[in-house]
Amino acid sequence: MKSGHEAAEITASGIGKAYGDFHALRDISLTIGSGEFLTLLGPSGSGKSTFLMILAGFETPTSGTLRKNGADITGVPAEKRAFGMVFQGYALFPHMTVEQNIAFPLQVQGRADADIKRSVNTIIDRVGLRGHEKKRPSGLSGGQQQRVALARALVFEPSVLLLDEPFSALDKNLRSSMQEEVRRLHQETGTTFVFVTHDQSEALALSTRIGIFNHGQLQQIGTPKDVYERPANRFVAEFLGDVNFLSLSGVKATADGAEGLFEGHPMRISAPGQFVSEHFAIRPEHMVMFEQAPAEGNMLKAEIGDITYLGAETRFGLKTPGGIDLVLQMPTREVKSAFQPGRQVWAGWPANQGFFL
């Protein structure tokens, strides 16, 4: 069921935040579409949390403007913005029961008791907290506390929900089930979600778009597939996952990409509309391992070094005759028994895989 959330579009233009000489954020411009699930991704200290605090109204930017559905809200304090927010560590009220925690934002708004009761009951069912209404946060598990924080942030049907590294304290299994939960809540409510994390797999799994931050600057913003497969720079490429760098010689632009040589192997890369250079990059799982040279596509010869078993996937360290170390990752079920350390193999990939940096 879609509820009464009215999703909002947020536009940041030229947002900057300086503390003395230190620039926590520089010139951030982006639009968060209504109903979007935007993830702000970056290492700690990259400015992503500062940007979230500015969106929430807890921090004021030193430059730039912030608009909500076109109206300037740069100077509007947090208490007047009434965006929902889920904090790292949940920030639940420890002296209140689950019910009281969730009812608090509604009481602040001065809603009628019957109305509050109805809204609280609905959201308790929605986040699966039935039976825990009378408990204090200290009597709940991490995942349950997380649900209370989500319920409390969503119960007043905010137009924007901000989430600041909400899953950082949860173990891996709970994390993925909470990710599912958040994704479902996003679909059900249709609210604009802005999610901060430093976990790239979480970002890729959840978002409609990802904005990647580093050193206070927005490095790239795009769909998970865009930023993963067509990263704008080396930082984005490496932050989102492992990547192999191949230096090509004799690079020539072609109609739909480029041609060049890597250790004597011809490479034809199809990358329409992309910038072309001698720095070619390809992700470990985009390469396929062959015992014999494949009939088509790009390929290079290498010797297997160490092998790491990761469960569903297996990772191979490869060394080219030129001494370049590469990583190749493939599904474990496709690993052939011949793939043993010291063995000469071929690594190949189709022309449309990989990118230039």
Indicate the residue among 78 and 324 with the shorter CB distance to other proteins. 78
Contacts of 57 (CB under 8 A, 6+ apart): 73, 76, 77, 78, 79, 80, 81, 83
The span from the CA of 30 to the CA of 93, in Å, is: 33
Q: How far is the CB of 84 from other proteins (least distance, A)?
A: 8
Contacts of 192 (CB under 8 A, 6+ apart): 7, 8, 9, 10, 32, 33, 34, 35, 36, 38, 159, 160, 161
Q: How far is the CB of 78 from other proteins (least distance, A)?
A: 5
Indicate the residue among 101 and 298 with the shorter CB distance to other proteins. 101
- What's the Cα-to-Cα distance from 309 to each of 170, 183, 341, rounded to whole Å? 25, 30, 13
Concatenated DSSP letters of 111-125: --HHHHHHHHHHHHH
Q: Closest by alpha carbon to 240, among 198, 269, 277?
A: 198
**Residue 132 near residue 140, CB atoms below 8 Å:** yes
Indicate the residue among 108 and 261 with the shorter CB distance to other proteins. 108
Q: How far is the CB of 112 from other proteins (least distance, A)?
A: 17
Indicate the residue among 56 and 300 with the shorter CB distance to other proteins. 56
How many beta carbons lie within 10 A of that of residue 21, not counting itself?
A: 5
Indicate the residue among 95 and 336 with the shorter CB distance to other proteins. 95
Q: How far is the CB of 35 from other proteins (least distance, A)?
A: 21
**Residue 326 near residue 347, CB atoms below 8 Å:** yes
Indicate the residue among 3 and 274 with the shorter CB distance to other proteins. 3
Indicate the residue among 8 and 232 with the shorter CB distance to other proteins. 8
**What counts of helices (H) and strands (E) characterise the chain?**
9, 21
Q: Closest by alpha carbon to 216, among 62, 46, 102?
A: 46
User: For binding to other proteins (CB under 8 A), which residues are involved?
Assistant: 56-58, 77-85, 87-89, 91-95, 104-105, 108-109, 152, 156
**Residue 178 near residue 168, CB atoms below 8 Å:** no
Contacts of 267 (CB under 8 A, 6+ apart): 246, 248, 259, 260, 261, 280, 298
Q: How far is the CB of 108 from other proteins (least distance, A)?
A: 5
